[in-house]
Structures are given as C-alpha cells and as structure tokens.
Amino acid sequence: MYMMHMMDLLPEPLKIDPRIRVLHVNGSGGLDGKTMSDNQAYFAFNDVPMWDPQFRAAMARWGLMHQSCERFIANNTFLADIEHSEFDVALTHTINACPIGIIHQTTLLMDAGDQLCFIQRVKSFIGHVMYKRVWRSLISEVETAAFRNEFGNDFPHIEDLMAKAPLVLVNSNEMYDFARPTLAKIVNIGGIGMKMTAPKPLPEKFSSLIDKSQGFAVMTFGSMAPMHLMPDHWIDAYFHAFSQFPNVQFFIRHENPSAISSLLPPNVMADKWLPQTDLLQHPKCIGLISHGGFNSFQEAVHSGVPIIATALWGDQPRNAHLAVRLGFGVNVHKTRMNRETMTEAVRRLVEDKSLKESAVRLKAMLESRPVSSETLLVRWTEFVAEHK
C-alpha cells in the first residue's frame, strides 16, 4: 500500500493489518495543508458563489495539485518500488489523475436530487459541463503535461488511460442511490466496511443519561467541518431546537466542549469523543444529526436510524436529497439555518414515525442483500487479476 501525501499534514491514524506493507510517499510542496484546512469553514458554513474571491482562490489552490504530482513522478525510488513489486492489480482513487499515470508508467457537486424543476435542470447541465472543463484544465491537462515532461511526449493523455481501466469500483449502492446510466465494468461497493457488529456496552456517562430519557440523538459534523468553527447563529439554532424537547437527550461531538459548556441546554452533552457506532445501534436512538457526508449517510442507513442533514459542500447536498427521497431523512439547507427550521426538523425526527420505519426497512434490505459489497470487491478484483 502506497500512501501518497499531497499536503504537509499528517494523515489520520489508521488501523492497518500488519501483513500489509505500507510505504509513505511525500509529495507535499505546493499545497499548504493547514491553509486549506483553515479555509474549509468558510465554504462549509456559507453558500459561496463562483464569483466570490475565496472561490477563485480555492480553485487556484486545487490547481497546485500538479506540483505534488511532479514530486511523485520524479521520485525514482518510489517508481522503482512499484515496478519491482510486480503487482497483479492496481487500485486507486480518481480525485485527481496522477496515480493513473504512475500505474501506466510502472506498467502496472449540485444541490438537487433526481426530481428537478426546469431551473435546477439548467443549473445541473451547466454544472456538469463546467465541472468537466475545470477538472480538465486544473487536473488532467497539467498532470498529463507533467508526465510528458518526465517520460516523453508519447506518454498517453491521462483521460485516455482512465477510460481504459478494466474495473471501476464505486462507493455507491444500488439499494440507496439515484438511477443513472452505467457500464458493465462499474461495480458498486458502497457500504464496504460498514458491516455493523454487536454494539458494545456504553460508558456510564452515556448510559445514565440515556436511561433517564425517552430517546436520544447523536450530532456530529465529522473532521472536515469541525464544530468549533461553526457560526454562532448555527449553534444558537441547534441548541434552541434541542431545548424544545427536554425528554430527548442529545449527544454532540465537539472538539472543544468547554468552549460551549455555558450554552448547553440541560438535555445536551458535548464531548470530544462519542462511541458513535454503539450509540446509533442503541434501541433508544432516534436519529443522527449531521452534515450528510456519505460515510455518515451510510452509517445511518446501516444502523437503521433517520438523519437530519445540513449539507455543507461536495456530494453532501446530493446525499441529503437522497435521504429525503428514501424516506428516512430531513434536509435543512444551510442558507435557511435558523431556530424555526431546525426546531421543525427536530420535531419531525422526534414525532414522525415514518422516518424510523423507512430507515429500518432499508437496513433490513441491505442485510438480506444477495451479494455483499465485500464479496463484490474481492471477487471482481480476483477476476481482473486472473483475466488481465
């Protein structure tokens, strides 16, 4: 496993099987990880138009990925290690195109669901066209140029190499995704690693509060949008809404709980860490309150709990609409974040039993799915290795 670092930030610690050889490859240089991390809150909690100077600056920083790519392909030790290892199959992401070129050389986001009005269809079309142009100008063209500069002008275009991939593994699942055109080589493995095991007993500080409540909800916005950067009026909206349901306990994952301790209603507990998986599988859990990231979305699905999603960026608006379409989600747009909208969303979570019923039904469908995502990943990878 090659972990290619494109920013000067240390990766999150991962539990990796000791039988797997891991090589860390440093390509940081043009991308300042801390700067990008500090700027995330502006995009996360605001509706940023394309003409905003911050948007243009972010696009410029994204374009600097090619500098990291140049460092990777100039690292002869790294390339030689790949080539000498004689791998049968190479698996990579497509966030950018650099790994595709490396594999060849070593021989190896729209706020809408599927029910669109005319204006949304126009925006979707424009967004699709613009995304392809932006990706090409900032990623594939510059990275193709980097490979040709290093290995000669006859190096194929990155997009041509991507099109020749014999297998595309997609973090999606036909049980809970929109219908879309597909190809035989596209295999959905959404939910991989999400297989829920029996929940562990909860620590006393959680279980004692749960026992006294009529139900509880979990709130977390993940690591990409830290809650300590959340605007004050968002905090006010959430805490006001929670205070309206004194018989329901709310658990919040917050990086600095002491900073908000004086604001917490009596039925809200904030902590740096939550046993999230165990909480979501508890029979008294009424739902998850989140940014709608796909991991959170899938965790709610596999736990059989409803979700209140306030999408921030990327695929999250799509995930929020998807949860609504499947009947287990409430979508609160970030431009309409206030006391009234959040109180109504929490009220639905507490009182609308159809949300829980839909979540439980979807969970049951996934558990009885004929072929698991793990099996699809292993069998298709073995198939490609055998018939390469």
The per-residue pLDDT for range 235-248, each reduced to its tens digit, is: 999 999 999 999 99
Residue 109 confidence (pLDDT): 46
Q: Residue 4 to residues 18, 102, 282: CA-CA distances in angstroms?
A: 19, 12, 38
Are 231 and 158 part of one and the same domain? no
Task: Residue 351: give its domain's CATH number.
Answer: 3.40.50.2000
Residue 353 confidence (pLDDT): 94
Read off the pLDDT of each residue in 40-68 and give the average, rounded to a whole number. Answer: 68
Residue 270 domain-assigned (yes or no) = yes
Residue 256 domain-assigned (yes or no) = yes
Out of 165, 180, 215, a domain closes at: 165
Show the tokens assigned to 141.
Answer: 């063209």
Q: Which residue has the higher pLDDT, 88 or 291?
A: 291
Are 136 and 258 part of one and the same domain? no
Range of the domain at 262: 204-367
Q: Which residue has the higher pLDDT, 71 or 386?
A: 386
Residue 381 domain-assigned (yes or no) = no
pLDDT tier at 128 (50, 70, 90 boundaries)? low
Residue in 197, 257, 245, 256 with CA at minimum distance from that of residue 217: 245
Q: How far apart are the first and last CA of the chain?
A: 20
Residue 373 domain-assigned (yes or no) = no
In the chain, what percentage of residues exceed pLDDT 70?
78
**Chain segment 58-74, per-residue pLDDT in tens:** 666 666 666 777 777 77
Show the tokens assigned to 346.
Answer: 């929490």
pLDDT tier at 333 (50, 70, 90 boundaries)? very high
Q: Residue 378 to residues 8, 176, 241: CA-CA distances in angstroms?
A: 33, 22, 45
Read off the pLDDT of each residue in 196-218 and give the average, rounded to a whole number. Answer: 91
Residue 355 confidence (pLDDT): 96
Residue 68 domain-assigned (yes or no) = yes
Read off the pLDDT of each residue in 100-126 and give the average, rounded to a whole number. Answer: 60
Are 158 and 218 part of one and the same domain? no
Residue 388 domain-assigned (yes or no) = no
Residue 87 confidence (pLDDT): 73
Residue in 293, 277, 281 with CA at minimum distance from that of residue 359: 281
Split into its structural domains, the chain has a count of 2
Residue 123 domain-assigned (yes or no) = yes
Is residue 222 scored above 60 in pLDDT? yes
**Chain segment 262-285, per-residue pLDDT in tens:** 999 999 999 999 999 999 999 999
Are 125 and 250 part of one and the same domain? no
pLDDT tier at 50 (50, 70, 90 boundaries)? low
Are 221 and 319 part of one and the same domain? yes
Contacts (Cβ under 8 Å, ≥6 apart) of 378: none
Out of 118, 150, 165, a domain closes at: 165
Residue 197 domain-assigned (yes or no) = no
Is residue 152 scored above 80 in pLDDT? yes
Read off the pLDDT of each residue in 71-81 and give the average, rounded to a whole number. Answer: 79
Q: Which residue has the higher pLDDT, 195 or 253?
A: 253
Average pLDDT, the chain: 82
Are 155 and 291 part of one and the same domain? no
